[in-house]
Amino acid sequence: MGLREVKRQRTRRLIADKAFELFGDHGFGRTTVEQIAAAAEVGPSTLYRYFPTKETLVLEFVEDCLVDAITWYGEQSELDLPAGLQAVIERVLEQLATNPGRIQAVFELAAQAGSVSAHLNELIWRFRIDLTNELVRRMPTAAPQQAEFTAALSAGIAMSIIETVVRIWVENPATVDLKQLARAAMSRLRDGAIPLPEGTE
Amino acid sequence: MGLREVKRQRTRRLIADKAFELFGDHGFGRTTVEQIAAAAEVGPSTLYRYFPTKETLVLEFVEDCLVDAITWYGEQSELDLPAGLQAVIERVLEQLATNPGRIQAVFELAAQAGSVSAHLNELIWRFRIDLTNELVRRMPTAAPQQAEFTAALSAGIAMSIIETVVRIWVENPATVDLKQLARAAMSRLRDGAIPLPEGTE
DNA sequence: CTCGATTCTGACAGTGACTACCATATGGCT
DNA sequence: AGCCATATGGTAGTCACTGTCAGAATCGAG
């Protein structure tokens, strides 16, 4: 990695950090991109070259966590479906726990700015698609139509667990442990302690 | 309802219809709000009074469906949780099936415009919160902390079913029946035919 | 029907996110 | 040192969206 790349990373990080600082001080809506660029001592054009939208500034870390988890899962081949699902869930949570402050901040910003929330939900949705595809890849090819359907539901449930656990954790960060919470969710789901739709014909 | 209200409804509908027409012809991104206003023969200010954002033009119908379902569920008191979940799911699908063309168009636009997709996911997320609250309201007050957790998971699963079913239906609208698909999803979930995360401690 | 109050409308001016483009500057390589 | 590729910052422009305001349409009361 040459000097060029080093500088790139430094600038990128500087911009994101300044952004969070300003967003934290004045709110997402009351901070302009120009202000962020000025604080990071770059031109607005440069900022846009690194972060295509204002929301990306906030959400890049979350996206990285999700991408990492999917990539990682794609490389695991010995896990069966249930074990794999548990593993991905925990991988995502581990990645997020890497920087709890950021996550906290992200959810605060999502609560105050609709567009951030919307883009966050979009990210989550894309992760769900990726996970679905990954699951399909691991399913018996006998029933292709069935597979996609089943995989989509499994992925949806996995995503629900992650979201629920994270949101609860965000609300009282000190008192709960992410992974522990997730395991509780999973085992209660398996025990039938979670009400499911009836499904009568 | 006076003449005023009648006119309001007419204008509102006219704007939305023209919007879909233009979006369909030229795409979401290549249609400006001014063009829509002009096509509906109103000033841009008027358009914004009816629809706060460009995305609202596309998503209002979906939002109405979801709001209707939640409101309806809020009025049902005799259903237990599993039956209630099934009922809400089916209510949403019924509402959507009211206007299949619109749904089709909405998903096409969501596929081509990131912001539409983001706002759609945001809508879905808000529905999930409402459903969670409604479920909590119906749960024994003995374990309040547990209740929110359980409800969030149930709501997440219900939402997953709706999303999965609708997306599959959008891809091949002719061949499948929405409600039938949903019932299949539900019963397979209950039968344990859907892989769940392992949940070992 | 008329008048006064209320609400709806369209125009204008302005902000800010984002794009396209270009001249300049900087790091990488021979 | 000198050439090439890339990174940067500035300018000009588009478009979504906001706030304000005067005038028009609607409604309700007398």
CATH code for the domain in which residue A34 is found: 1.10.10.60
Structural domain harbouring A38: 3-52
* φ/ψ of residue B125, rounded to 5: -60, -40
pLDDT tens digits for B161-194? 999 999 999 998 888 899 999 999 999 999 999 9
Per the CB < 8 Å rule, is A201 touching B183?
yes
Q: Which member of A125, A154, A189 has the closest CB to residue B199?
A: A189
Do A37 and A68 fall within a single domain?
no
Do A139 and A88 fall within a single domain?
yes
Please tell me the distance from the alpha carbon of residue B168 to that of residue B148, in angstroms, as a whole number. 30
Whether residue A121 lies inside any domain: the answer is yes
Do A79 and A167 fall within a single domain?
yes
Using C1' positions and the CA of B8, the closest nucleotide is C8
Whether residue B196 lies inside any domain: the answer is no
Residues 13-32 of A, Cβ under 7 A from nucleic strand C: 31-32
Q: Which amino acid is at B117?
A: S
CA-wise closest residue to A154 among B183, B171, B193, B120: B193
Please tell me the distance from the alpha carbon of residue A156 to that of residue B159, in angstroms, as a whole number. 8
Q: Token pair for residue B199?
A: 């949940």
Do B102 and B34 fall within a single domain?
no
Average of per-residue pLDDT across A19-44: 98
Element (H, E) at A93: helix A81-97
Q: What is the pLDDT of residue A150?
A: 94
Whether residue B197 lies inside any domain: the answer is no
Per the CB < 8 Å rule, is B153 touching A122?
no
What count of CB pairs under 8 Å joins A to B?
159
Do A77 and A113 fall within a single domain?
yes
Cβ-contact B61, B82 below 8 angstroms: no
Measured in angstroms, the CA of A193 and the nearest CA of chain B are apart by: 8
Using C1' positions and the CA of A5, the closest nucleotide is C27
* Ranges of residues in chain B whose predicted pLDDT is under 50: none
Provide, in whole angstroms, the distance separating residue A13's CA from nucleotide C27's C1'.
Answer: 20
Domain count, chain A: 2
pLDDT tens digits for A138-147? 998 877 778 9
Please tell me the distance from the alpha carbon of residue A68 to that of residue A27, in angstroms, as a whole number. 29
CA-wise closest residue to B163 among A129, A193, A166: A129
Do A42 and A141 fall within a single domain?
no
Q: Which member of A119, A168, A190 has the closest CB to residue B118?
A: A119
Terminal alpha carbon distance of chain B: 61
Do B129 and B30 fall within a single domain?
no
Query: Which own/partner pairs from A105-114 qualify as long-range (CB within 8 Å, at least 24 positions apart)?
Result: A105/A20, A105/A23, A105/A24, A105/A58, A106/A58, A106/A59, A106/A61, A106/A62, A107/A167, A107/A170, A109/A23, A109/A28, A109/A58, A110/A58, A112/A27, A112/A28, A112/A29, A113/A27, A113/A28, A113/A29, A114/B122
Do A133 and A159 fall within a single domain?
yes
Provide, in whole angstroms, the distance separating residue B48's CA from nucleotide D17's C1'.
Answer: 8
Do A48 and A63 fall within a single domain?
no
Measured in angstroms, the CA of B3 and the nearest CA of chain A are apart by: 35
Q: Which member of A82, A117, A118 has the closest CB to residue B196?
A: A82
Buried/exposed code over A104-138 (b: 16+ C-beta within 10 A; e: otherwise):
ebbbbbbeebebbbbbbbbbbbbbbebbbebbbeb
Residue A161 scores a pLDDT above 90: yes
Q: What is the pLDDT of residue B4?
A: 83
CB A54 within 7 Å, strand C: yes
Average of per-residue pLDDT across A73-90: 97
CA-wise closest residue to A87 among A184, A179, A197: A179
A185 contacts: CB under 8 Å, gap ≥ 6: A161, A164, A165, B149, B153
Do B99 and B69 fall within a single domain?
yes
Q: How confident is the model at residue A73 (pLDDT cuts 50, 70, 90)?
A: very high
Do B178 and B97 fall within a single domain?
yes
Whether residue B201 lies inside any domain: the answer is no
Whether residue B169 lies inside any domain: the answer is yes
> Which chain B residue shows the shortest CA-CA distance from A110?
B122
Whether residue B91 lies inside any domain: the answer is yes
Please tell me the distance from the alpha carbon of residue B100 to that of residue A97, in angstroms, as a whole number. 42
Q: What is the pLDDT of residue A201?
A: 67
Length of chain B counted residue by residue: 201
Q: What is the pLDDT of residue A30?
A: 97
**Protein footprint on strand D: which nucleotides are under 7 Å from a CB?**
6-11, 15-20, 26-28
Do A139 and A109 fall within a single domain?
yes
Whether residue B198 lies inside any domain: the answer is no
